[in-house]
Structure 1
């Protein structure tokens, strides 16, 4: 078991948070149905975050249950699908999240640069 040494561990951890933020960002552009949200998230991050449909739908349900998203069933080309959009509370949540990401990204970029582009420091014991 490699745990925190595994890139997969870190990808899954980041995806959970990033998926929620990207979902809000896509719905802030206007109403979308579930599959379109999933595709928009993939497109928005150039494929680096590919949430599963289950992840998108469970996050969407959680956001709806908490009043951040509303939805209705619509028919499109003979198929019914659920279309979702942000509520005013969801808009506020997206703005708050964006401010937090804006503050955190420079620190994350510094840590990444340190890990990838700086020679390891030899620790003497």
Structure 2
């Protein structure tokens, strides 16, 4: 049973959704490898929405299969690492996500502001 009165429920739901947006945002700025993506998202959100390794790589694989990311393998110090880049379709997805999150954030802030004036 979902505990709608649980802060953990809402935080988890919000973090899961926002981490997807911030992954796109990080890659919108520049191509990155997985660890850099996680660090960037943590930086953008003060650690709030940083994806774990266990959640990041399946999500990146899904985004790649959806055609919004391309992947190139780089060899650094004898080790291979995957560098992720937004495709044109990914840039479009980022723009749509940014607009949707901007609208949603505005509505949430308005609702919370109304509540404090009641």
Fold shared per TM-score above 0.5: yes
Query: Does the CA contact (< 8 Å) of 2:42 and 2:50 recur in 1?
Result: yes
Q: Structure 1, residues 21-79: CA drift from partner, whole Å, max 9, x if none? A: 10000001111000100010000112222321122112111110000001021111222
Q: CA deviation at 1:2?
A: 6.8
Query: How large is the RMSD of aligned CA atoms in angstroms?
Result: 1.7
**SS at 1:5's partner residue?**
coil
Name structure 2 gaps, 5 residues minimum.
Answer: none
In the alignment, what sits opposite 2:103? Answer: 103
In the alignment, what sits opposite 1:54? Answer: 54
Name structure 1 gaps, 5 residues minimum.
Answer: 120-125
Runs of 4 or more above 2 Å deviation: 110-115
In the alignment, what sits opposite 2:92? Answer: 92
Query: Does the CA contact (< 8 Å) of 2:23 and 2:41 recur in 1?
Result: yes
Structure 2 length as normaliser, TM-score? Answer: 0.90
Cα 1:92–1:57 change in 2 (3 A) is same
Q: Give the number of the structure whose alpha-carbon radius of gyration is greater.
A: 1
